[in-house]
């Protein structure tokens, strides 16, 4: 597959883009990543490819656009079936989709409620993040990864948001490791994978980005 | 092993009706359990056990194992019972069906409630948002009989809210979301959809829904 066939409209700090890049890497696929200018205005290609949501990530496969990270990762899995990112049985797949949907809708936004607040982060926002992580710990149980022994769909959807945790911990004045040790252990396991380590940004850089972003938004 | 299929639903919920349509289409017999969803305190212990996170219908129970979230259940049903597939084979087409189904839930529905419950400018803005969404779906339909082509597919089933509930809401509220001049193909699709075999037995009784909506909108509360 030549590089020209796969293009991702990307943003280095977006966990949703990271999920797509990890999925592509897990499949051993080459792609071109085009960084969108966060503050310079969205490119015409982005606006034309994703007129509904006008957001990254967009995956262009042979120039056909696909949007929404969980939907894109599903597409990648169906188009290039090996190695599989979803369990073989339909019940396992339904469970994976349920957790991916839950994380996609809840985790990032809950984290945003912490770093977006002026002054001290509200206790309620911290409680929400911890509650979500505890629910994920229950889903994880004693498994190495959400899918079991192998790193799969739910891990791919979840791990990118953890690159924002260092920043969220600083703004929220708490530590994920103290509150959710199992989840923290899972994070470390994921970071040992080359595909994850290469894609996830340095958490310190994410923290610096958010400090700058908060200043720009007048939250500081 | 004999299959045991149960569905926890609510008569007025477009989400649980979606699952009924899919099971009907596939010819899967199931036991239906009606839930009172007006308040968490009325929900059955079994529903809360099987869906502790969201506490919502529908819940599909297949041989004792719960499957949650209507769009996820639709895919599960399609993967488990292969007759009359509701998703195409081609990965790109499947992905687009999923994308538009999610669009209906995340973009089309919320402004409907905003328009109903809002006033003045907020109402107008929400109304316009819904109209834009419907125009988009008109484009997606692209003159076809159904979103799925000649037969109904996942996206048609997901759009059940538009075919039936939206038109009831329109009648009760007087708000013109869906009109023949802007969306003639979509209107035709609505009529075809509600009268086709797997669907027509799995819609709420129209009068009952009208009465329910009138009651709810007049602030008399949520009565089942």
Least confident of A21-25, A42-46, A192-196, B37-41: B37-41
Task: Tell me the domains of chain B and their CATH numbers.
Answer: 5-80 (3.40.30.10), 91-218 (1.20.1050.10)
Three-state secondary-structure class, residue A133: helix
Spatial separation of the C-alpha atoms in residues A81 and B140, rounded to whole Å: 28
Residues of chain A with C-beta less than 8 angstroms from the C-beta of B104: none
Q: How confident is the model at residue B218 (pLDDT cuts 50, 70, 90)?
A: confident
Please tell me the predicted confidence (pLDDT) of residue A220.
72
**Helix B14-26 and helix B70-80, axial crossing angle in degrees, nearest 10:** 10
The 10 Å Cβ neighbour count of residue B3 is 11
Q: How confident is the model at residue A191 (pLDDT cuts 50, 70, 90)?
A: very high
Among A79, A98, A102, A137, pick the best mutation site for testing chain B contact (most B Cβ within 10 A).
Answer: A98
- Average pLDDT in the B190-206 region? 97
Please determine, for residue B15, whether its predicted confidence score (pLDDT) is greater than 60.
yes
Please determine, for residue B2, whether its predicted confidence score (pLDDT) is greater than 80.
no
- Average pLDDT in the A158-175 region? 95
Please determine, for residue A1, whether its predicted confidence score (pLDDT) is greater than 70.
no
Q: Is residue A98 within 8 Å of B53, Cβ to Cβ?
A: no
Three-state secondary-structure class, residue B32: strand
pLDDT digits (tens, 9 = 90+) for B103-131: 999 999 999 999 999 999 999 999 999 99
CATH number of A6-79: 3.40.30.10
Spatial separation of the C-alpha atoms in residues A110 and A213, rounded to whole Å: 17
Shortest Cα distance from A61 to chain B (angstroms)?
9
Q: How confident is the model at residue B220 (pLDDT cuts 50, 70, 90)?
A: low
Among A136, A25, A142, A147, CA closest to A93: A147
Residues of chain B with C-beta less than 8 angstroms from the C-beta of A75: 91-92, 94-95
Looking at the DSSP bridge assignments, the partners of residue B116 are none
Backbone angles phi, psi at A163, to 5 degrees: -70, -15
Please determine, for residue B34, whether its predicted confidence score (pLDDT) is greater than 70.
yes
Percent of chain B clearing pLDDT 90 (strictly above): 93
Q: How confident is the model at residue B213 (pLDDT cuts 50, 70, 90)?
A: very high
Helix boundaries (H) for chain B: 14-26, 45-50, 70-80, 91-103, 109-117, 120-141, 154-158, 160, 166-173, 184-195, 197-200, 206-217
The residues spanned by each domain of chain A are: 6-79, 90-217
Written as six digits, the tokens of A75 are: 């597409």
What is the CATH T-level fold of the domain A90-217, as seen in this structure? Glutathione S-transferase Yfyf (Class Pi); Chain A, domain 2 (1.20.1050)
Q: Is residue A129 within 8 Å of B112, Cβ to Cβ?
A: no
Residue B191 class from Cβ within 10 Å (0-12 exposed, 13-18 middle, 19+ buried)? Answer: exposed
- Average pLDDT in the B174-199 region? 96
- Average pLDDT in the B158-181 region? 96
- Average pLDDT in the A9-25 region? 97
Average pLDDT, chain A: 94
Interface ipTM:
0.93
Q: How confident is the model at residue A118 (pLDDT cuts 50, 70, 90)?
A: confident
Average pLDDT, chain B: 95
The verdict on a CB contact (< 8 Å) between A94 and B76 is yes
Among B51, B87, B93, B99, pick the best mutation site for testing chain A contact (most A Cβ within 10 A).
Answer: B99
Spatial separation of the C-alpha atoms in residues B81 and B58, rounded to whole Å: 18
Please tell me the predicted confidence (pLDDT) of residue A2.
60
Global confidence as pTM:
0.95
Please determine, for residue B191, whether its predicted confidence score (pLDDT) is greater than 60.
yes
């Amino acid at each position: 597959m030549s590089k020209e066939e796969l293009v991702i409209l990307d943003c280095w700090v977006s966990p949703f883009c990271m999920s797509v890049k990890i999925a592509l890497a897990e499949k051993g696929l080459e792609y071109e990543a085009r960084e969108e200018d966060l503050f310079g205005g969205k490119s015409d290609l982005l606006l034309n490819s994703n007129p509904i949501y006008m957001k990254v990530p967009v995956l262009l496969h042979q120039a056909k656009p696909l949007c929404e990270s969980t939907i894109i990762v599903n597409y990648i899995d169906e188009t290039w079936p090996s190695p599989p990112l979803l369990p073989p049985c339909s019940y396992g797949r339904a469970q994976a989709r349920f957790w991916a949907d839950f994380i996609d809708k809840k985790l990032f936004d809950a984290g945003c409620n912490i770093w977006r607040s002026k002054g001290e982060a509200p206790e309620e926002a911290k409680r929400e993040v911890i509650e979500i992580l505890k629910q994920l710990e229950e889903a994880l149980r004693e498994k190495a990864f959400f899918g079991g022994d192998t790193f799969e769909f739910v891990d791919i959807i979840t791990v990118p948001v953890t690159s924002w945790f260092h920043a969220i911990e600083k703004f929220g004045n708490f530590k994920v490791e103290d509150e959710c040790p199992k989840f923290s252990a899972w994070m470390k396991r994921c970071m040992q994978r080359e595909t994850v380590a290469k894609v996830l940004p340095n958490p310190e850089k994410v923290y610096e980005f958010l400090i700058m972003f908060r200043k720009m938004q007048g939250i500081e | 092993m004999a299959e045991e299929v149960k569905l926890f639903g609510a008569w007025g919920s477009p989400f649980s009706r979606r699952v009924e349509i899919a099971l009907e289409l596939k010819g899967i017999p199931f036991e239906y359990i009606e839930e009172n969803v007006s308040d968490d305190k009325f929900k059955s212990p079994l529903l809360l056990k099987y869906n502790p996170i969201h506490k919502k219908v529908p819940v599909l129970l297949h041989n004792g194992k719960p499957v949650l979230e209507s769009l996820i259940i639709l895919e599960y049903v399609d993967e488990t019972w292969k007759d009359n597939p509701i998703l195409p084979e081609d990965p790109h087409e499947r992905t687009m069906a999923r994308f538009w189904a999610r669009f209906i839930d995340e973009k089309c529905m919320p402004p409907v409630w905003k328009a109903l419950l809002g006033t003045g400018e907020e109402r107008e803005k929400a109304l316009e948002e819904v109209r834009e969404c419907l125009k988009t779906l008109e484009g997606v339909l692209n003159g076809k009989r159904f979103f799925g082509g000649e037969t109904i597919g996942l996206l048609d089933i997901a759009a059940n809210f538009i075919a039936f509930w939206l038109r009831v809401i329109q009648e009760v509220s007087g708000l013109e979301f869906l009109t023949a001049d802007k969306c003639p193909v979509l209107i035709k699709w609505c009529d075809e959809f509600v009268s086709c075999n797997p669907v027509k037995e799995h819609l709420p009784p129209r009068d009952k829904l009208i009465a329910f909506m009138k009651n709810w909108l007049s602030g008399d509360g949520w009565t089942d």
